Amino acid sequence: MVGELTSPEIESILGSQAIGHLACTTLDGKPYLIPVTYYYEDGAIYSYTNEGMKIDIMRENPKVCFQVEDIANQHSWRSVITWGKFEELPREKHEEVMLRLQETAEVALEKGVRAYLPFASAARLEHALREKELPIAYRVIITEQTGRFEHNRPEE
């Protein structure tokens, strides 16, 4: 059976995963899609990046799309797509976001959920915090969302 997810189901999926896919588009229409480590809170996706193509594109055109999935197998999956607006967070928020992202990724990994640790070790994170060498923290304020699912038993 294929169907649409309810708002609470969408919220649950957004809150239970640690990796999603962020899509942005240059002003001349060139799409760019990348996997990102994230956490979800209060209607927004929080993540980080370094200076480069992704941040340049989002600063230029803040309209973005974010997708996340929970796949058990080819016959049982759930997928959420959101649209929203990129917002770069002020420097004083970067430490809070990075600590939360690190924690979210560690919890996800313990549960067997795919995740990337923003910092490979606690020592590297402590060094980055101490030296103020943190990446750019940002959020995507969700303005629209949709979700689909499939739950079938494989043919026997």
Q: Where are the domains of the chain?
A: 2-149
pLDDT at position 60 is 97
Closest CA to 117 of 48, 58, 68: 48
- Give the span between the Cα atoms of 133 and 61, in whole angstroms: 26
Domain boundaries 2-149, corresponding CATH code: 2.30.110.10
Residues 6+ apart with CB under 8 A from 119: 98, 102, 125, 128
Nearest to 117 by CA among 52, 26, 39: 39
pLDDT for 105: 86
Using CB atoms within 10 Å of the CB of residue 132, give its burial: 0 to 12 exposed, 13 to 18 middle, 19+ buried. exposed
Which residues are bridge partners to 24 per DSSP? 32
pLDDT at residue number 121? 66
pLDDT tens over the chain, length 156 residues: 999 999 999 999 999 999 999 999 999 999 999 999 999 999 999 999 989 999 999 999 999 999 999 998 888 999 999 999 999 999 889 889 988 988 888 888 888 887 887 777 677 777 777 777 788 999 999 999 999 999 875 554
- Per-residue pLDDT, 153: 59
**pLDDT confidence of residue 154:** 55
pLDDT of residue 118: 79
Whether pTM > 0.75 for this model: the answer is yes
* Integer angstrom CA distances of residue 98 from 21, 28, 48, 133: 18, 32, 8, 11
In eight-state DSSP terms, residue 120 is S
Determine the angle formed by the axes of helices 91-110 and 122-131, rounding to 10 degrees: 170
pLDDT tens per residue, range 34-68: 999 999 999 999 999 989 999 999 999 999 999 99
